[in-house]
Structure 1
Amino acid sequence: MAEDRRLERDGGIAAAVQRTLARRYRAERRFRLFGMIAVAVGLLFLAVLFTAIVSKGYTAFQQTYVLLDVYVDPDVVHVGNLDSADYQGLIKTSLRELFPDVKGRRDKRNLYKLVSSGAGAVLRRMVLEDTSLIGRRLRIWVPADDDVDMVIKGHVDRTLPESQRRLDDQSLAWVEVLERQNRLEKKWNFTFFTAGDSREPELAGIWGATVGSFYTLMITLLLSFPLGAAAAIYLEEFAPRNRWTDVIEVNINNLAAVPSIVFGLLGLAVFLNFFGLPRSSPLVGGLVLTLMTLPTIIIAARAALQSVPPSIRDAALAVGASKMQTVFHHVLPLALPGMLTGTIIGMARALGETAPLLMVGMVAFIVDIPRGLTDAATVLPVQIYLWADSPERAFVEKTSAAIIVLLAFLIVMNAAAVFLRNRYERRW
């Protein structure tokens, strides 16, 4: 009987264990399913985001051009006025020759709007490069107006009522005539990559903002990496463990979580109002971003130093190396890949920042390409912000295209961080 009761008890325990295991396995399967769903939803949102940006922005990499037969009239353009000649007037004359029936003043103004206000600059550049073109008839491609560009790219429904289109029926008829004559063509938009900002969408480019971003990040890198690395080395290797060191470490961790606009307010108060540095300059922008990225770089550099095994330090000290030699000859070379990775991630964050730069004036409308650290400039995120606030439909695709370029830079920087970590990081 006792044996039977023992077997019955053991069987009950085994059954209970099996039920418990079954519940655990079901819970584990549910957890894995929820995790897969979460990853799938995240990837779906990411795919939707990228699809929306690319679908709206890829057309900005092309620009509609109009083929015109332009006579470079010697009475208008001659050696004495090559820079100031009325090149846009010659463009208008060629348009009137294409549509000789246009007589009214209002109709002529609408006709002239088919081409960009920068069309004359194309002719001017050609004449300045080769003065033998004076007195000759040229067939040249000039940029079309942004409204024409939107129609050709299919962003404007031609069947809509005239009141719902920026181009009236007469202008749309002229566009269709140019299409039938094969005088309209989409070409690669070099202007987008080589020009600065403009009030005209077809003439606007990202080169000025790109150069401003380069100068700003150069200042940020030159200041933040040495200061951040030095602070991390001191705090991790040389600083005494006391109350003041703890206070500094806590404040560094807190600064990493401070909203970026607070650093912009600090830059406005200190660098502009107190030191009087030039407003809207990459110098001020770089100083502000240095303050913002320093905590991130210090934290990443300290983590890299902590990852070096204590045996490295002990071995160096055992063979007679000083504390300084141990740190700079043994510990720092091993921690450097991790420090560089943290620095690149900090630079990527700085590249995408807008709020602190708005506070120091880098939101200004700037056409010229900056030539130095103290010239007025803007950066890519601020340029995107300015274009997103513009009413013209053509700036919508410009905004998305600039976002694509910015994302490409960020992906490259993060890929470089991953490469450095995988290529040079030691496995202990």
Structure 2
Amino acid sequence: MTSAESTIEKVNKNLARRYRAEQRFRLYGILSVLFGLSCLVVLFTDIIGKGYKGFVSTEIYLTVDLSSDDLGISDPEVENAFMQADFEGAIKRALYARLDVTDRRAKRALNALISSGASYALRDQVKRQPELLDSSHGFWLLADDDVDTWYKSVDSKSPFTGRLSDEQLTWLQTLDFSGELRTALNTTFFTSGDSREPEMAGIMGAALGSFFTVLVTLLLSFPIGVAAAVYLEEYAPKNRWTDLIEVNINNLAAVPSIIFGLLGLAIFINFFEMPRSIPLVGGLVLTLMTLPTIIISSRAAIKAVPPSIREAALGLGASKMQMVMHHVLPLAMPGMLTGAIIGMAQALGETAPLLMIGMVAFVVDLPGGVMDAATALPVQIFLWADSPERAFVEKTSAAIMVLLGFLFLMNALAVWLRRRLERRW
């Protein structure tokens, strides 16, 4: 074998080894992607499998006698007539008559099948339709969470009976056999606030709290972040002080979110004595957290504008402010909006800073503004996940599905804005 042939053989072996290494590296990448996708599939399957039942609730059909005398309504026109009426007693009497129960102990067990919120729903319906008074009508009434959990698992191999007694199960099977037990869309989940009773708990209060909090964050962080980015890119001199500011902005983007919660607790609540658990304080804290992200993305968008645009504007006699406002900012706005939406999505999913400023409080009433006590959707999920009732498991998963839906929509909006408004140079 000649020296030239030996060299060619060594080169070919080396190339073959490099090609095999490249193929292995490519295979590792494919396996990593598949592993990540499989983890997502398992996660979403578990969440959806537990959460889809949270969007429906179990109801019991009863024929209720709405006699004005029994309800204690002498004049329906009186303002508080329906508020003081005994709708709970009317439901109990209808339940006793339907299942022919007279024993006091059995009555207590039977009453436990109906949710404590059923009387309020019946009261609201009769208040809207006062012509229902002094007659008997059939109503689908909200069942207790134990009944709800059992009925949703009745088709499984091992139905969950929970705290239901054998006597209560017999009554429920009787109602189920006669078609007086059903599942329907759980509108309460979307229209009411939090509750100690799982079947009455909803996400509307938390959703409004998140909306007001993110609104405050957007109104504060976007203009401040854009202004800071414009100053640093177009006006700030390049010296050690601006370098220090840039380093600190980059470092703040990596600070754990709970640190901003501690900062908000120390400044806004302890120093300025602002109320706890209000969206205004939550928005201020999340503004501090999202500002570095918006500043960095806005600076990147401004840098992407070609220098020729600036030079042409200045060459035609525009001032520097006119050049920035009329040319640079409009061209950089798609990237700025994308960064702002991603920052808002990050703020929407944050829990730790809000826990530190007291937005973990149990709030039943729906907030009407940024100064009303409220909680946020991630915090609501945290509270439900810590509740001992089994029915809160599906509520937690359903709320996670709603939160993920909002996050997907916001990220999809960011991608759409980027593709719709971006200009290629």
Shared fold, TM over 0.5: yes
Aligned partners of 1:116 and 1:146 also within 8 Å: yes
1:328 pairs, out of 325, 328, 340, with 325
The 5 A counterparts of 1:153-164 are 153-154=152-153
The 5 A counterparts of 1:82-101 are 82-100=82-100
Give, in angstroms, the shift of residue 38 of structure 1. Answer: 0.3
2:184 aligned counterpart, secondary structure: strand
- Relative to the length of structure 1, the TM-score reads 0.95
Please state if 1:238 is matched with 2:235.
Answer: yes
Aligned to 2:40: 46
Aligned AA (1:268): L
Q: Deviations over 1:16-50 (max 9, x none)?
A: 11111111110110000000000000000011000
Q: Deviations over 1:187-218 (max 9, x none)?
A: 11111111111111111110111111111110
2:55 pairs, out of 56, 61, 65, with 61
- When structure 1 is superposed on structure 2, of 115-124 and 226-235 the one drifting more is 115-124
Aligned partners of 1:63 and 1:188 also within 8 Å: yes
C-alpha distance in 1, partners of 2:314/2:126?
73
Q: 1:85 to 1:425 in 2, by over 3 A?
A: same
Q: 1:67 to 1:160 in 2, by over 3 A?
A: closer
Please state if 1:36 is matched with 2:30.
Answer: yes
Aligned AA (1:93): R
Aligned to 1:124: 123
- When structure 1 is superposed on structure 2, of 410-419 and 264-273 the one drifting more is 264-273
Give, in angstroms, the shift of residue 318 of structure 1. Answer: 2.1
Aligned AA (1:170): E
C-alpha distance in 2, partners of 1:362/1:268?
11
Q: Deviations over 1:88-110 (max 9, x none)?
A: 1111110000122x333222111
Aligned to 1:340: 337
Aligned to 1:215: 212
C-alpha distance in 2, partners of 1:424/1:11?
59
Aligned to 1:151: 150
Q: 1:271 to 1:248 in 2, by over 3 A?
A: same
Aligned AA (2:98): L
C-alpha distance in 2, partners of 1:73/1:133?
9
Q: Deviations over 1:236-267 (max 9, x none)?
A: 11001111111111111111111111111111
Q: 1:98 to 1:409 in 2, by over 3 A?
A: same
Give, in angstroms, the shift of residue 159 of structure 1. Answer: 6.0
1:26 pairs, out of 17, 20, 32, with 20
C-alpha distance in 1, partners of 2:381/2:155?
23
The 5 A counterparts of 1:271-350 are 271-350=268-347
Q: 1:38 to 1:249 in 2, by over 3 A?
A: same
Aligned partners of 1:219 and 1:286 also within 8 Å: yes
- When structure 1 is superposed on structure 2, of 79-88 and 133-142 the one drifting more is 79-88
Please state if 1:250 is matched with 2:244.
Answer: no
2:309 aligned counterpart, secondary structure: helix
Give, in angstroms, the shift of residue 275 of structure 1. Answer: 1.4
Unpaired segments of 5 or more residues in structure 2?
Answer: none
Give, in angstroms, the shift of residue 9 of structure 1. Answer: 2.5
C-alpha distance in 2, partners of 1:50/1:33?
26
C-alpha distance in 2, partners of 1:156/1:285?
44
Give the superposed CA RMSD. Answer: 1.5
Aligned AA (1:150): T
Give, in angstroms, the shift of residue 158 of structure 1. Answer: 8.5
The 5 A counterparts of 1:157-196 are 165-196=162-193
Aligned partners of 1:151 and 1:158 also within 8 Å: no
Aligned AA (1:15): E
1:353 pairs, out of 350, 360, 380, with 350
Unpaired segments of 5 or more residues in structure 1?
Answer: none
Give, in angstroms, the shift of residue 319 of structure 1. Answer: 2.2
C-alpha distance in 2, partners of 1:252/1:36?
35
Aligned to 1:141: 140
Aligned to 1:74: 68
Aligned AA (1:370): P
Aligned partners of 1:344 and 1:417 also within 8 Å: yes
Aligned partners of 2:249 and 2:292 also within 8 Å: yes
1:418 pairs, out of 415, 419, 422, with 415
C-alpha distance in 2, partners of 1:62/1:131?
28
2:373 aligned counterpart, secondary structure: coil
Runs of 4+ in 1 over 3 A off after TM superposition: 155-161
Aligned partners of 2:146 and 2:162 also within 8 Å: no
Give, in angstroms, the shift of residue 156 of structure 1. Answer: 9.4
Q: Deviations over 1:392-419 (max 9, x none)?
A: 1110000000000000000000000111
Q: Deviations over 1:113-138 (max 9, x none)?
A: 11110110121012211222111001
- When structure 1 is superposed on structure 2, of 114-123 and 396-405 the one drifting more is 114-123
Q: Would you say how many aligned residue pairs link Structure 1 and Structure 2?
A: 419
C-alpha distance in 2, partners of 1:160/1:229?
56
Aligned AA (1:317): L
- Relative to the length of structure 2, the TM-score reads 0.96
1:199 aligned counterpart, secondary structure: coil
2:372 pairs, out of 351, 375, 384, with 375
Aligned to 1:16: 10
C-alpha distance in 2, partners of 1:11/1:317?
65
Aligned AA (2:106): D
